[in-house]
């Protein structure tokens, strides 16, 4: 499975933009529960943030554009890893897991994001 650390997100975004300079923004797919999203969230910067709780992904994954790079995010990386596997099984090719989730995001990328 493809995975990136939160500290590698800028590099991942640059790679996606270089691959398709005129294409739409890459996506960070937050698969946490709504209460978790309200507790702590990331600020979109060079990507579109889409909230889709893990349990809703099987019913809603067709809302996602298969041509856009997607980085899946959860609390620590386990749920987002499952979503990455599921999306790849559905034919998505540019999907990565944000290893360590929003917890690592807070430590590596943006300390203003609360941990819980």
Residue 22 three-state SS: coil
Per-residue HEC secondary structure of 53-107 comes to CHHHHHHHHHHCCCCCCEEEECCCCHHHHHHHHHHHHCCCCCEEEECCHHHHHHH
Q: Which residues are catalytic?
A: 74
Q: For residues 100 and 6, is the Cβ–Cβ distance under 8 A? A: yes
């Amino acid at each position: 499975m493809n995975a990136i650390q939160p500290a590698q997100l800028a590099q991942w975004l640059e790679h996606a933009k270089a691959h398709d300079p005129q294409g739409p923004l890459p996506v960070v797919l937050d698969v946490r529960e709504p209460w978790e999203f309200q507790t702590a969230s990331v600020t979109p910067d060079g990507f579109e943030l889409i909230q889709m709780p893990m349990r809703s992904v099987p019913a809603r994954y067709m809302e996602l554009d298969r041509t856009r790079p997607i980085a899946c995010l959860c609390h620590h990386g386990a749920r987002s890893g499952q979503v990455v596997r599921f999306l790849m099984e559905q034919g998505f090719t540019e999907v990565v897991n944000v290893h360590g989730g929003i917890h690592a995001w807070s430590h590596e990328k943006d300390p203003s994001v609360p941990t819980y």
